[in-house]
Structure 1
């Protein structure tokens, strides 16, 4: 009871704080989550109607990856994947509330997780940047191979034909003019033993892949979104290897196209990196996760950046996007109080979402 009362007081204080923020229309009021599995779709559509729409969420990023019944590459489908008809239900719900919907497929990095490769490298192992790194029976971090997630080799001559066919199909299905390519936490890139990109500049390789994806999307009038961590210097900033780069990809910030959207995520501290991206000529949104106090400071900062910026910089500060790093079903259980309470009853993704995006 005491914990519940403390949480209520905390959220009320956060709500008052948010209400006191400068009144400004953020171009992006976003929500990012894994696309629901078919059995969770009805509950998620209800969540769009009853929670996202009243909070004026205008952008929904769905991490689809292989959770779609692709026709271009049936071999890459997940076993329990969304049908085209089910995707159209999502599209219609978002259209009804004037919500932009953006699908994501992880490109370049995140081609494995823990002890298993994801569908692309499982089906097409030749695309692997590090085929000599074998997936462990029991995954632990740190490990001798520096294995976090595998990457595909951006220089492999066959990789883009496959992934772009997926990208085109999913963008057409979601009827969207934007695509999120992920590209975060890329630890394997330009490895010395890779016969194609070994010894090449990692920043140049990363920027080259951004350009390749951007140019493909641009042919059909679509915009590229990516996570921003690989464009930050982890050593100089002290941000480290997760929220920033320790393998020299950060210099790509001066090489990437300027018409992309950078999703700048920091979860434990409200670091002021949106200013850095804006000064580099890039559009940027701030992305919190599960700490309401950090997220509300980030929101205040975003309002402040926009309020104090000159006419060139202001349009680059695009807004905020709540990120959810569980599947849709688990998040909905958390949000509606159906799951077992977490030990930390304050710092949860549901509380963070409520704090940043009021439904008043």
Structure 2
């Protein structure tokens, strides 16, 4: 049975072109930096982001945590949003791996009061940890942070000699929504984490990019974390297709999400959060207690969604077309009728 899977854009199956590229990929031992395809991918993504170098990581969590581990020493402070992926979805890894203190700053729709941000930055003394890093995320929960905001945060960080890491798991979606080259976003991070399996369809991988010096150190830290891999060219071959080709079709997913929004607006009691509608995601609630059983009903009818957790999130991707979206809307109407 074919399921319509709206849980995430990580559920995509690799394309036929990716499968064929895996068969013919040149490979080598990546621990020795001998894998030519991995080397090409790392430099390709670094160039796209306007950075000097990159390193292949097995996941976005790994990449983010590697960035913190490389930027910081034990006892350093990292400022980030209270809802940041690093805080909420990375299993408490930061204090375990890096020994850092996470200072979570409250935001309004994922944007900080910048005066409060600047007051929050600390210098190390006998009583308090020093702020070493500010971590941003773009997009953030379906919202795209504008360039002028990123620039202001970056300038505040530089004023206080603090580094900036950008969790750019879906940075190509952000660039698509802003209609800018991805470099225009990436320039406001000293390091950037770029996921290949979110929205872009590759089966595995995230590239961490930054300066040559930083990435050289990160490569050593990656080995410590157990991320030294061997013939990863078979995966990197998919990553090259992901960033070169799949990144250019993301507007289709955004348009399909808009189509889904229009259909859902016709259904009584569905309340879509319009502030989270910048990319390929729909966040909504339903004023009906039957919503707690919706995931069971949808699964029985060939649609996979995440169980209600205070909000629903449906995600479009290249394995979902408009006929699928129409079916989903019809099922919602039927269930709540």
TM beyond 0.5 = no
TM-score (norm 2): 0.29
TM-score (norm 1): 0.28
